Amino acid sequence: MKKLLAMLLAALLILASLPVSLAENADATQPIDESTEGTAIPSPYDLEELTVAVTTPITGNFFTSMWGNNTSDMDVRAMIHGYDLVEWDVEEGMFVPDEAVVSGLVVTEDATGDRTYTLSLYDDLYYTDGTQITAWDYAFSFLLTMSREAAEIGGRVNTPEYLRGYEEYMDGTVPYLAGVRVMDDSQMAIIVKGEYLPFFYELGLLDCLPYPISVIAPGVRVADDGQGVYLTNVDETVTEPVFTADLLAETILDPETGYRTNPSVTSGPYILTSWENGEARFELNPMFKGDPDGLKPTIPSVVFKSMGQDELIPALQEGTVTLVNKATGAELIQEGTGALGDNPLIAMTNYARTGLSFISFNADTEPLSDISVRKALAYLIDRETLMQEIVSNYGLQVKGYFGLGQWMYQLLNGTMAYPVEEPAEGATAEETAAYEAEMEAWRALDLNAMLAYTAGEDEPEGAELDAAIALLEGAGWTLNAQGEAFDAANDDVRYKDVNGTLVPLSLKLAYAEGSSAAQAMENDLVAMLKAGGIELTVNAIPMADLLPQYYRMADAEYDMYFLATNFDLLYDPSTGFIENENGEHVWRTSGLVDEKLWNEAVGMRTTEPGDLLTYCTHWLAFQTEISDSLPILPIYSNVYFDFYGRVLHDYQVSMHASWPEALDAASLSEYVEETEELGEGEEEEFEG
C-alpha cells in the first residue's frame, strides 16, 4: 500500500504542474534544455544575487509558527533553519529520517504498546556560529515549543500529547518529559504513547528542528538523569529558575535583538543578514553541510521582498526582480503570461496549491454563534463570483478545508486512479470479489456529500437568497430599525429584538493590506450581504495585526477574517483544536465546539499508515462536517504561477515544498538561446 501511495504522490507532482487555464502557453512551463549549444543573451539580471518577490507581506515571524504562519515567513524559515530529524520522501510517499542528520534509527515497542524511536545523529552538524548541533539541541526544541513560559509571552505552543509523560510533565506531577531522552551528544530517543498509535504519518511525529539554547535561553541547559529531559540552570548555585517568561520575552520578542525577528544563530542553507522595510536579505551559510542528497545552494545571496501586484512584472522585465513567486491574482497572472511572448528572457512554471482561501467566522460570538446566520451567509456569498474577481479561471471553488494539490482531493475527484491493485490473471472468485468490493468502497466516497449552498439546476433564480432569508427570519432577524417588520423594498438592515433591545445585523470583516481580494471584498461581498439585509463593514489591516487576532493570540476585533492557508505535508487538522474547561473540543480559530469534527480529525490521524481508503473516508467525513457546521466558509483553491528570468536554471519548484527548497539545485548564469537547427524528420520533445 505504501508503494501505491508513492505512485500516487509521484503522479500528483506531475499534475501539480499543469495549468488550470488551457489557454496559456504550455511551452513556457517546460524545462529548458541547458545542454544545447547556442548564444548567450545579455540580460539585466544580477548573476550573483537572486531577488525573489511576492505579494504576501513578510511579517517577521522567522522562528517557529508560534506567532503566526504566514507563507512568506514560512519561506524565510525554510531559508535559515535546517537539519530537521525527518523529511518527506516523494518516492516512498512517507516521512523518513533525514539522512544528512540521522545516521541510524532503531524502532522498538514495549509491553504497553509505547514505541521508542532511537536516533543516532551525525557529528558534523553546526550552527552558523560554528557551535556543534547535538541531541541536546533537539531536546531543547521540544521543551521550548511546548513550554508554559512560551505560552505566557503569547506563543501558540505545541501540544505533543503523543509523547510519553506529556500530561505529567505539563501539570507538574513530574519535573521531566519522559517522552524525550538524550543518552549522549549523538544519541536520543523519542517515545510515542501506544494509545496515540497508529498514526498515519508515523515518522512525522519525529519532526523537530534544532534551536540554539545559548541564544534563546542563556544560562539554561537541558539535562536527563535517566528518566527524561528537563530544563535546569547552568549555574547550579542559582536557586531560582533562569528559564522564565521574562527571559523569553527578552531573547525572543525584543524588537531589535529578539530571535523571532532577528535569529542570529541558525542552521539552514542561508544566513539572514538583514530584515527591514519588508525586505529580507540572505547569504550562503558556509557551515551548512547540504541536504540528504548532498546538495548545497550555490547562489551567493538572495533578496526576498513583498511588492504590490502592479510592480512585479515590470520589475521582472527590468531585471530588478529575478523570480516572482506564488502569483495568484488574475491580472498579475495575465500580465505575466503576456510578458512571456514579449520577452525571451522570461519563463513560467505553475503548480497546484495545497491550500485555500476562506472566510473564518468567529462562531463563539453573536450573531455568528447561530448556525442559521452562518448558513445564511453561505447562501448569500457567491463564491464563484468572488473567485472570478480574485483569480479568474486560475482556481476552483472548494467546499471544504483542502487544496487542489492535496492527494486526497485528487483521488476522490477522479484525477488519479484509485490505488487498488487489479486481480492477477486467473484470480479466484474471492479475490475478484474483494477487488470489486474495495473499488465500490472508493466509488462511494462522493465529494458531493459536501454542502454547496447553491441552488440546484431545477430551482428558480434567487433560490439562494430565499434560503438565506428563511434562515435569518427563523433566527429572529425580522425587524427594521424602528422595530417594525423588515421590508426589503424599504429597509437596508435587519434587526432582532434581544431582551428588549433592537440589535442590527451588522458585521465586520478584515482582510490583509495589499491583498488582491480588496476590490472583491469591498464591492462584491458587501453587495452580496446587503441583498439579505446584512450590513458589512470591510477593513484592510496589516497582516501583523490580522494573524494574532485570527489565531486568538489577541482580542478579535472582527466577526470574520478573509485569509488563506497552505497545508503541511503532514495534514493533521486535529492540531487545530483545543479543549475548553468543559472538556469539549473547540476549533481554535473560530471558537466553535464540534465533537464530530474533532472525531473525524482524530480518525484521519489514527489511521494505519498506508491505509488510504480509511484515511480518505475520515477525510471526506471531516470535510462534510466543515461544510455543515461552518467554522469557516471555504472560497477557492488555485494554481500558483512563478515567473522568472531564464538566468535562473534548474528551478523545479513543483518538485519541492517551496522555492527555498528548490534553490538547493538551482543556479544563476547567463541564458543560452538555442541556435542549433533541427534536422529533417526531427521533432522537439519535452518531458513532463
Which whole number is the average pLDDT over 12-19?
Answer: 40
Q: Give CA–CA dist 675/659, Å, rounded.
A: 30
Q: Assess whether pLDDT exceeds 70 at residue 47.
A: yes
Fold for 355-420+431-472+506-515+541-638, please state it.
Dipeptide-binding Protein; domain 3 (3.10.105)
- pTM of this structure: 0.87
pLDDT at position 92, please? 66
pLDDT band, very low/low/confident/very high, at 40 (cuts 50, 70, 90): confident
Using one digit for the tens of pLDDT, what is the confidence trace for 503-562? 999 999 999 998 888 889 999 999 999 999 999 999 999 988 998 999 998 999 999 999
- Taking only the tens place, the pLDDT of each residue in 474-499 is 999 999 999 999 999 999 999 999 99
Chain segment 344-368, per-residue pLDDT in tens: 999 999 999 999 999 999 999 999 9
At 9, the pLDDT band (50, 70, 90 cuts) reads very low
Looking at residue 460, its pLDDT comes to 85
C-alpha to C-alpha distance for 570 and 65, rounded to whole angstroms: 15
pLDDT at 455: 83
Would you state the pLDDT for residue 675? 53
Q: What percent of the chain has pLDDT over 90?
A: 81
Tell me, what's the pLDDT at 148? 97
Question: Are 85 and 119 in contact, with CB atoms under 8 Å apart?
Answer: yes
pLDDT computed for residue 27 by the predictor: 35
Q: Which of 45, 493, 122, 496 is nearest to 290 (CA)?
A: 122
- Mean pLDDT of all residues in 140-169: 96
CATH of domain 2-56+279-352+640-674: 3.40.190.10
Which one has a higher pLDDT value, 24 or 109? Answer: 109
Of the given ranges (270-279, 394-403, 425-434, 457-466), which has the lowest mean pLDDT?
457-466
- CA 323/CA 660 separation, integer angstroms: 12
Nearest to 51 by CA among 326, 340, 281: 281
Task: Say which amino acid occupies 431.
Answer: E
**Does the pLDDT at position 682 exceed 80?**
no
| Chain mean pLDDT for the chain | 91
pLDDT tens across 208-246, in order? 999 999 999 999 999 999 999 999 999 999 999 999 999
The Cβ of residue 285 has, within 10 Å, a number of other Cβ atoms equal to 22
Architecture, CATH, for domain 82-240: Alpha-Beta Complex (3.90)
Residues 62-72 have pLDDT tens digits of 999 999 888 89
| Cα 550 from chain centroid (whole Å) | 15
Domain ranges of the chain: 2-56+279-352+640-674, 82-240, 355-420+431-472+506-515+541-638
What does the pLDDT read at residue 69?
Answer: 81
- Residue by residue, DSSP assigns 195-209 as GG---TTGGGGG---
Q: What is the mean pLDDT of residues 625-646?
A: 97
pLDDT at residue 54 tops 90: yes
pLDDT at 39 over 90: no
User: Could you please report the per-residue DSSP string of 112-143?
Assistant: TS-EEEEEEE-S--B-TTSPBP-HHHHHHHHH
- Fold: same for 82-240 and 355-420+431-472+506-515+541-638: no
